[in-house]
Structure 1
Amino acid sequence: MNTVSASPAEPGARTLVWDAPVRVFHWLLAACFAVAWLTSESERWQLVHVTAGYTMAGLVAFRVLWGLVGTRHARFTDFVRGPWAAVDYLVSLAERQPQHHAGHNPAGGLAIVALLALAALTTGAGWASYHELGGHWLQEAHEVLASIMLTVVVVHVAAVILGSVLHKENLVASMIHGRRQVPAREGIRRPWRVLAALLLTGVLAFWWLQWQSAPVSEQPVPLTRHERHRH
């Protein structure tokens, strides 16, 4: 159950809210999307682009599963609300009397669902296009979905910055150390560091396998002096 309070905990009070798997997922997904976007137009870095995309797909699958069986504030039931709940939260921001949620607020929850859906669709279209399973429209769909996802990311980052100012709390830092200024009763018991380590290890192992399978570019054979003179 998503808890709304009139005010946050006492200044200085820090309660563990985000488990380690959620935090590792968050930053890995952000990094993979950035890498995929930056390498999208380069033939030279195609393998890096594909690897980042496949990693995003795996991360989304993990997050969906963890959203069903994970810790309190990682579960979809804690932060997925209807559009009117998001509107109410945004109105509270405009009135400079923001609702305080221990986990994701309703607007942030919608953004997370949108990002997960867009990541799945983008990587799916990219995979199909890469394996030439459809026409040129799949490539165009892949690019359009990636652009929409970038827009959602920008809006999400702007909302986090605004929320940090209005809530007087560094929300970016909380996704690093996992703690927020909320009452202790709203916290979680375990950080699940082992699962986070397994997630990170799995991603790194996949990257290593992709690197090992990379085709070796043939180096040109240097010409002899006689051949250089002939040319």
Structure 2
Amino acid sequence: MNAQTVRVRVWDLPTRLFHWVLMACVIGSVVSAKIGGNAMAWHFRLGYVVFTLLAFRLLWGLVGGRWSRFASFLYAPATLRRYLRGASRPEEGHEVGHSPSGALSVFALLALLGAQVGTGLFADDEIANSGPLVRFVSSATSSLATGWHKHWGQWLILLLVVLHVAAILVYRFKRGRDLVTPMLTGDKLLDAAVPASADSLATRALAALLVALCGGGVAWLVSLGG
């Protein structure tokens, strides 16, 4: 830390809310699925919320705050190799937003959650619960979707969550970097020259509009199942 170190807004409020609401929904989805029975109604509702959040994050990755945009953490293979060797260049600023390994985790989790939501729309346990769009696919396709949703998809997501938590602990206790507090407050102590993410009332209003549009799109898609 030096005299030029200041608090810089890295994670805008929409990104922070996305992160924590998504975490709560994933936990709730797993728990409700394990309980079964009447709790499955909440499993479906939470799944639709996750769908909405993922759609929003894809859009926010294009128009959100600087460090939330995919362009800020879409690293070249050479950059990733340097990072894994501990030979990152000072100007690459991996301590600001997502590091190269963190970026891989983010993309993997978004992809897996997308696959989980997608297969859930067509899944059918042939007992009491079926996805809203199951009537649009064959029984064989629905069976494949159900198998992924109930087995591979679930366990891969849980594995990524465990690795994510483990990485946070490693950064905190071995590298002395707190990744949780910035995701709560939005700020990091960084060099004054580091550009901040936009996080004004206007950007938050845009995020709210995008969430509303994504939610409406998800509701429309689900309604197609009748």
TM-score by length of structure 1 reads 0.73
Q: Quote the residue 1:159 is aligned against.
A: 167
Q: Which residue of 2 aligns with 1:34?
A: 27
Q: Name the residue aligned to 1:48.
A: 42
Query: Cα gap change, 1:55/1:165 in structure 2, threshold over 3 Å: closer, same or farther?
Result: same
Tell me which residue corresponds to 1:137.
144
Structure showing greater Rg = 1
Task: Tell me the residue number matched to 1:150.
Answer: 158
State how far apart, in whole Å, the 2-side matches of 1:89 and 1:198 are: 35
Q: Distance in 1 between matches of 2:169 and 2:39?
A: 32
> CA–CA distance in 2 between the matches of 1:167 and 1:9?
19
Aligned counterpart, 1:20? 13
Structure 2 equivalent of residue 212 of structure 1 = none
Aligned partners of 1:188 and 1:25: how far apart in 2? 19
The alpha carbon displacement at 1:102 in A equals 0.9
CA deviation after TM superposition for structure 1 residue 82, in Å? 3.5
Match of 2:205 in 1: 195
Amino acid in structure 2 at the alignment position of 1:165: F
Q: CA deviation at 1:72?
A: 1.0
Residues 1:185 and 2:179 aligned together: no
Structure 2 CA distance, aligned partners of 1:100 and 1:122?
30
- Gap regions ≥5 residues in structure 2: 88-92, 124-130, 220-226
Aligned length: 194
Within 5 A, what are the aligned runs for 1:96-135? Answer: 100-129=94-123, 130-131=131-132, 132=134, 133=137, 134-135=141-142
Pairwise CA distance, 1:113: 0.7
Q: Output the CA distance in 1 between the equivalents of 2:40 and 2:48.
A: 12
CA contact (8 A) 2:116 2:153 kept: yes
| Other-structure match for 2:180 | 172
What corresponds to 1:59 in structure 2? 53
Q: CA deviation at 1:105?
A: 0.3
Q: 1:10 to 1:113 in 2, by over 3 A?
A: farther
Structure 1: runs of 5+ lacking an equivalent: 1-7, 94-98, 210-231
In the alignment, is residue 74 of structure 1 matched against residue 68 of structure 2?
yes
User: Structure 1 residues 85 and 171 mapped into 2: Cα distance closer, same or farther (>3 Å)?
Assistant: same
Equivalent residue of 2:11, what SS?
Answer: coil
Alpha carbons of 1:200 and 1:51: their partners in 2 closer, same or farther (altered >3 Å)?
farther
Residue identity over aligned pairs, in percent, reads: 31
1:75 positional shift: 0.8
Structure 2-normalised TM-score? 0.75
